[in-house]
Amino acid sequence: MPRATVNTTETFRKDLKSLPAKDGEEGGWIELRKLSYGEILARRDMATKIAVEGLDSGNDMKADIDIIQKAVSEYEMSHSIVDHNLTDDQDRKLNFNNPVHVTNLSPQVGQEISDLIDKLNDWEGDSTGKDEPSSMPGSDQQ
């Protein structure tokens, strides 16, 4: 019978193009795991809840979208990143369970990590909380 579950203990190491090796120093990398369907559902629920709360508060739509994207990115990074070699300006290893560490990422690094998570999980049918669908035809990121 076909297996219908994901192995959330299997990890995938990805070198970051936005942090290449230089001056004899190792380039940046992250180790990711796939999200389970339950985690993807939790992500959708979070985005929907924030959107509904935004409608009730009378905030403008752009502010609501920004809040949703931030919360979803923090959730994905905290649940997908298993290990990495990324540090802050004090040479301390980043903690992706801490939203401040996610917020302080370089925009290029943050976007690259977000793209890698999207490609690994390939949830093309639902872009709730995202700017656009994440699937790319012919992607070899898995």
- Residue range 109-121, pLDDT digits in tens: 999 999 999 999 8
Domain count, the chain: 1
User: What number is the average pLDDT over the span 74-78?
Assistant: 96
Model pLDDT, residue 23: 92
Answer whether residue 137 is part of any domain. no
Answer whether residue 3 is part of any domain. no
Would you place residue 43 in the very low, low, confident or very high pLDDT band (cuts 50, 70, 90)?
A: confident
Answer whether residue 22 is part of any domain. no
Answer whether residue 139 is part of any domain. no
**pLDDT for 134 beyond 50:** no
Q: Where are the beta strands (DSSP E) in 58-135?
A: 81-84
Answer whether residue 46 is part of any domain. yes
Neighbours of 74 (CB within 10 A): 19
Taking the C-alpha atoms of residue 10 and residue 32, their distance in angstroms, rounded to an integer, is: 9
**pLDDT for 102 beyond 90:** yes
Taking the C-alpha atoms of residue 113 and residue 119, their distance in angstroms, rounded to an integer, is: 10
**pLDDT for 64 beyond 50:** yes
Percent of the chain with pLDDT over 90: 61
Answer whether residue 133 is part of any domain. no
- Domain of residue 95 covers 11-17+27-121
User: What number is the average pLDDT over the span 46-55?
Assistant: 70
**pLDDT for 139 beyond 50:** no
Average pLDDT, the chain: 83
| Token code pair at residue 42 | 């939790």
Answer whether residue 82 is part of any domain. yes
Taking the C-alpha atoms of residue 101 and residue 99, their distance in angstroms, rounded to an integer, is: 5
Would you place residue 36 in the very low, low, confident or very high pLDDT band (cuts 50, 70, 90)?
A: very high
**pLDDT for 13 beyond 80:** yes
* Local structure of 73: helix, strand or coil: helix
